[in-house]
């Protein structure tokens, strides 16, 4: 990296806010994916003025610039694929304003998701988007990836809860889009920027909606002896017009891994479970819980448990939200996929995923947001073995291709990043991709902000690259 750029960055931020030695940069070449990319330096802005100045220097020295939250992303979106400056927002972590009366909060991008809900819990409010990594992930990262979570089915994804943004464009302008009102005139720039994976701007301030905590909650665990019964239950629940707050599925193998780690009380001898939650007014919740339980039994659930209190409910959700960590105890590495399918295709898709696991010789655990068809197969492998690494990429690609054949998509909430850019031609025509590239170029004309993300190089689908093997000893995803 240009030594003068380093001096300028240290002069701007202080030497303690600039990392550039190889041993300091190693942590920042990873996120939660299997991708690897090392920046030339890492900086820690504290204010919007800092971000503006960093963007100015990136333009002056024509160096790539990438924003990063907590690094919990699963598609390589916050990795410095072309080197350059990695701006980490962990020190911009203040809750700037809480407006209880209007159910609003304004935060800096480094505020941890769960911390905002904790700050407003006494007022009976929460921030509804709840990724499984919510105790670590940041709201700025949630905005960049349009993150979801187990309660997406009823409450929607991040974009449904963002009212306005302050952002620094890669050309150096400070802009504000949206407002504290529920709607704003003009183009829906909020819809464009939320989920743009850090390719259009660096977000410096976010105003979000706060949601009332429900009067009552019922959490159910339905236990099944076959995968088909489990998936057909999901289809039937939604077909009857019932929208649970959450509808999560774990297969038997994953359950056993989770139970050994969390001790949540999951059965060890079943094919799968559904973790279901209904919330709202007490009387309606009781009725909906009974209806959901009846549907589960109609599809041969051998048992339907209802959490008796908040402690049991929290334990069940602890099992779900710590599932990735539980699987990480069993394998040097695993590859998390993020395909989406129509709910009616769940039975066929799970059968195909299991067939792909057998074909390539990998154990695949299935845990996913069943209610909205967002699959998260976990493919266990050893990244130090080149043959296994190439095999797991091929298996993952085959799963995603099947999702597309079923009428689905290549990602539901993890983003495209540098993981699935080469698969975009499976879903979009070159004309489609050119329109999206033109939108990016309107805001990011020099391509310095988060380059080589989302869109493939202009090659045919048969020429898409296979990502390089990670360094030996790479940490698990």
- pLDDT digit string (tens) for the chain, length 477 residues: 789 999 999 999 999 999 999 999 999 999 999 999 999 999 999 999 999 999 999 999 999 999 999 999 999 999 999 999 999 999 999 999 999 999 999 999 999 999 999 999 999 999 999 999 999 999 999 999 999 999 999 999 999 999 999 999 999 999 999 988 877 788 999 999 999 999 999 999 999 999 999 999 999 999 999 999 999 999 999 889 889 999 999 999 999 999 999 999 999 999 999 999 999 999 999 999 999 999 999 999 999 999 999 999 999 999 999 999 999 999 989 999 999 999 999 999 999 999 999 999 999 999 999 999 999 999 999 999 999 999 999 999 999 999 999 999 999 999 999 999 999 999 999 999 999 999 999 999 999 999 999 999 865 444 434 454 444 333 333
For position 299, what pLDDT does the model report? 97
Closest to 449 (Cα-Cα) out of 200, 174, 203? 200
Is the full-model pTM beyond 0.85?
yes
pLDDT digits (tens, 9 = 90+) for 258-287: 999 999 999 999 999 999 999 999 999 999
pLDDT digits (tens, 9 = 90+) for 355-398: 999 999 999 999 999 999 999 999 999 999 999 999 999 999 99
Considering Cα of 77, then 93, then 52, then 159, what sign does the dihedral take? positive
Neighbours of 399 (CB within 10 A): 22
For position 477, what pLDDT does the model report? 37
For position 458, what pLDDT does the model report? 65
Quote the CA–CA distance of 219 and 182 in Å, as a whole number.
Answer: 31
| DSSP conformational letter for 449 | B
For position 28, what pLDDT does the model report? 98
Cβ 257 vs Cβ 329: under 8 Å: yes
Cβ 140 vs Cβ 112: under 8 Å: no
Considering Cα of 286, then 291, then 292, then 293, what sign does the dihedral take? positive
For position 453, what pLDDT does the model report? 97
- Can you list the domains of the chain with their CATH numbers? 3-88 (3.30.43.10), 95-212 (3.30.465.10), 216-326 (3.30.70.2190), 327-463 (3.30.70.2740)
For position 476, what pLDDT does the model report? 38
Cβ 74 vs Cβ 32: under 8 Å: yes
Closest to 254 (Cα-Cα) out of 366, 375, 352? 366
For position 2, what pLDDT does the model report? 87
Phi first, then psi: give them for residue 29, nearest 5 degrees. Answer: -90, 0
Question: Roughly how many angstroms between the first and final C-alpha of the chain, as a whole number?
Answer: 28
Whole-angstrom Cα Rg for the chain: 22
For position 139, what pLDDT does the model report? 98
């Amino acid at each position: 990296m240009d030594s003068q750029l380093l001096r300028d960055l240290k002069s701007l931020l202080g030497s303690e806010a600039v990392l550039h030695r190889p041993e300091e940069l190693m942590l920042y070449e990873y996120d939660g994916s299997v991708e690897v990319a090392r920046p030339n330096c890492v900086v820690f802005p504290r204010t919007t003025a800092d971000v503006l100045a960093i963007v100015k220097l990136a333009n002056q020295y024509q160096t790539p610039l990438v924003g990063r939250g907590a690094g919990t992303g699963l598609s390589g979106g916050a990795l410095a694929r072309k080197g350059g400056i990695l701006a980490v927002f962990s020190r911009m972590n203040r809750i700037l304003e809480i407006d209880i009366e209007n159910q609003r909060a304004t935060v800096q991008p480094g505020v941890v998701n769960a911390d905002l809900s904790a700050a407003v819990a006494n007022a009976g409010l929460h921030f509804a988007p709840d990724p499984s990594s919510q105790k670590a992930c940041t709201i700025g990262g949630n905005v960049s990836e349009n993150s979801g979570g187990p309660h997406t089915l009823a409450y929607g994804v991040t974009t449904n809860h963002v009212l306005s943004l302050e952002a620094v464009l890669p050309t150096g302008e400070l802009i504000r889009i949206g407002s504290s009102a529920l709607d704003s005139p003009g183009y829906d720039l909020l819809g464009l920027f939320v989920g743009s994976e850090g390719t259009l701007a660096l977000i410096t301030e976010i105003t979000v909606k706060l949601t009332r905590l429900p009067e009552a909650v019922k959490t159910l665990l339905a236990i099944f002896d076959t995968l088909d019964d489990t998936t057909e239950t999901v289809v039937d629940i939604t077909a009857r017009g019932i929208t649970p707050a959450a509808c999560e599925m774990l297969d038997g193998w994953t359950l056993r891994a989770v139970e050994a780690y969390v001790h949540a009380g999951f059965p060890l001898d079943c094919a799968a479970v559904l973790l279901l939650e209904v919330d709202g007014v007490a009387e309606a919740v009781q009725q909906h819980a009974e209806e959901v339980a009846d549907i589960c039994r109609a599809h041969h659930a051998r048992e339907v448990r209802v959490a008796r209190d908040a402690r049991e409910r929290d334990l069940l959700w602890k099992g779900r939200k710590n599932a990735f960590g539980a699987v990480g105890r069993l394998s040097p590495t695993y590859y998390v996929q993020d395909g989406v399918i129509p709910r009616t295709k769940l039975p066929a898709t799970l059968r195909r995923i299991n067939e792909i696991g057998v074909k390539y010789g990998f154990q695949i655990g299935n845990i996913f947001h069943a209610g909205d068809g967002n699959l998260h197969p976990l493919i266990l492998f050893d990244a130090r073995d080149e043959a296994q690494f190439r095999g797991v990429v091929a298996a993952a690609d085959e799963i995603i291709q099947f999702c597309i054949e079923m009428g689905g998509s290549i990602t539901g909430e993890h983003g495209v990043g540098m993981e699935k850019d080469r698969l975009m031609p499976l879903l979009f025509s070159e004309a489609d991709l050119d329109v999206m590239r033109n939108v990016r170029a309107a805001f990011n004309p020099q391509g310095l902000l988060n380059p080589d993300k989302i869109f493939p190089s202009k090659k045919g689908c048969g020429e898409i690259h296979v990502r390089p093997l990670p360094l030996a000893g790479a940490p698990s995803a």
